[in-house]
Amino acid sequence: MEKKSLAYHETMETHEVLNLKTVSLLKSKLMQGLCFDNELKALMEKNVQQSIAAINELKEFYKGAKTNYIE
């Protein structure tokens, strides 16, 4: 079966979303150590888990598609 291809702008947008999720993950993980409120820590942990799931989903999506632009 032939892989679906991504246009250049789709590749860039996927990269931008992946960067956003990675930064969000890192920020939430680092801020957990500075936070003393348990409810806020729980929210940050939920954000960490959701970010990990989103990053893994984006990686699988990107692996499954080939880029369609001139290098």
Quick check: 45 pLDDT over 90? yes
What is the rounded CA–CA span in Å between residue 19 and residue 6? 18
Distances from the Cα of 65 to the Cα of 6, 16, 38, 68, angstroms: 6, 16, 41, 9
- Is pTM beyond 0.85? Reply is no
Quick one: pLDDT band at residue 1, thresholds 50, 70, 90? Answer: very low
Average pLDDT, the chain: 85
Specify the higher pLDDT residue, 61 or 29: 29
Quick check: 2 pLDDT over 70? no
Mean pLDDT score, 22-36: 92
